Chain A
Amino acid sequence: MGILSNSVSLTRYRVDGELEEPIVDMISRRLKRYAISGITDETSEKLSGWTSFDTPFQPNFEGSSFVVGEYFVFALRIDKKTLSPKTVKKYCAVEEAKRLAETGREYLSRQEREMIEDQVVNMLMMRIPAMPNVYDLVWNYEQSCLWFFSTLKAANEELESLFLKTFKVPLVRLFPYTLADLAMGLADRDRDSLHNLASTSFLE
């Protein structure tokens, strides 16, 4: 979901670690290395990588093109091919009938049916285009915080994994406990109390 959409969804993260200097050069270099490149293996189901937020289908990380004010703004793109089970079933039925006619047999073994299904899936995967999904992100390097403009579980997991692979530092999701522990400036005594909290009952 784009940052400039009227209605956005947002997951907050803390960037947990130090990055090597000079920051902009390093980020540019690593974004280029892990930029989405287009599907090279036509049978692969999914491909993900970084892209530019303003030109998501032509990634460009030259110079400081991803720097907006004090923020780094770019996007995660996930291209995914989705096959409908009904389509697979239809093509399998056609292939199985053809095989039976060729061999003059009445039945195919389980192994033969599985082989046909694999061939059908591969053939269909090569024919259908991947559907791109683009998720913007805003990274405030100075404050070690990052906003990811999606709350989808799969997209967030892909972000966490690719970010770690790219920048060698993990992202920590900010949910109530981690927000309290990491971003609310609690004194040590309060952090101890937080760690020992038990739930409250509001029942009489």
Chain B
Amino acid sequence: MLDVAVSYNRYKFIGHEFLTWLWFAIEEDQGLDQVFEPSTSVDIGNRLVLENRKREAKETVTIKGDDAGLEEGRLALSKGAVVSEMNIVCRRGDQQWQVTLKAESFHMTGLRCPPTGPVETGADLEGAVLEKIFLCDQLIGVVDSLFSTFLQKRLSHGWQDREVPKVKRWIVA
């Protein structure tokens, strides 16, 4: 494997392309429901950040708010921006997870899991920790499934011929 610092910089576009594709796949209903078990859904949450480095200075577009319109984001994409951060809401049955995923680093910030039981005694602590680990693992599993689906497309011959034209049409639609 390449040196970690070298590969971080050389392949940082993979995360940007993943989040850009994910936005497209969520909005255009690209069969994401087949990625997870039934009753699981993924939506864009309350924050989306795009970056455009095509010009000399970096431009950033941030869209915040629970029901914010994403038109300006699409406009930024049409000018060459890529998604650098996305808040994702994952629902499974009556449970909800929310997290902001950074494209370059895959850092997860503001990760909120469904509530766990109260910790009232020392004996409750181990159970609460295990429950929290289980819940974090559920969300990470969803993110990994999405990333794996993206990778299958991204590493296939059909990426340039089929997937990219669909994303381009969606951006300007």
Q: Which residues of A are interface residues toward B (Cβ below 8 A)?
A: 3-4, 6-12, 53-54, 68-69, 71, 73, 138, 147, 151, 172-184, 186, 190, 193-195, 197, 199-204
Place the interface of chain B in its size category. Answer: 35 or more
- Please name the residue on chain A nearest to B159 by beta carbon: A200
* Interface class of chain B by DSSP: helix
Quote the shortest CB–CB distance from B76 to chain A (angstroms): 11
Quote the shortest CB–CB distance from B97 to chain A (angstroms): 11
Residues of B within 8 A of A200 (CB): 13, 17, 159-160, 164
Closest 10 CB pairs of A and B: A199-B13, A177-B11, A176-B14, A176-B15, A151-B107, A10-B108, A193-B155, A9-B109, A177-B7, A190-B155
Q: Count chain A CB atoms within 10 A of each CB in B2, B106, B122, B125 and give the residue with the most.
A: B106
Residues of B within 8 A of A184 (CB): 144, 147-148, 151
Residues of A within 8 A of B108 (CB): 9-12, 151
Given contacts A12-B140, A68-B130, 19 further A-B contacts (CB under 8 A): A3-B133, A4-B119, A8-B136, A10-B111, A11-B105, A12-B106, A151-B102, A176-B104, A177-B10, A179-B144, A180-B147, A181-B7, A182-B1, A186-B155, A199-B13, A200-B13, A200-B160, A201-B80, A202-B168
Q: A4-B129, A184-B144 are in contact. Are A202 and B111 (CB under 8 A)?
A: no
Q: Residue B107 contacts which of A9, A68, A186, A194 (CB distance < 8 angstroms)?
A: A9
Instruction: Tell me the total A-B contact number using a CB cutoff of 8 A.
Output: 127
A-contacting residues, B80-118, CB 8 Å:
80, 82, 102-112, 116
Provide the bound-state CA to CA distance between A172 and B108, in Å: 16
Residues of A within 8 A of B11 (CB): 176-177, 197
Q: 1/0 contact trace for B121-140 toward A, CB 8 Å?
A: 01001101110110010001
Provide the bound-state CA to CA distance between A179 and B71, in Å: 31
Residues of A within 8 A of B32 (CB): none
Quote the shortest CB–CB distance from A137 to chain B (angstroms): 11
Quote the shortest CB–CB distance from A163 to chain B (angstroms): 14
Q: A184-B151, A204-B172 are in contact. Are A175 and B105 (CB under 8 A)?
A: yes
> A10 contacts B147, CB within 8 Å?
no
Provide the bound-state CA to CA distance between A154 and B1, in Å: 25
Provide the bound-state CA to CA distance between A73 and B128, in Å: 13
Residues of B within 8 A of A179 (CB): 106, 144, 147
> A202 contacts B171, CB within 8 Å?
yes
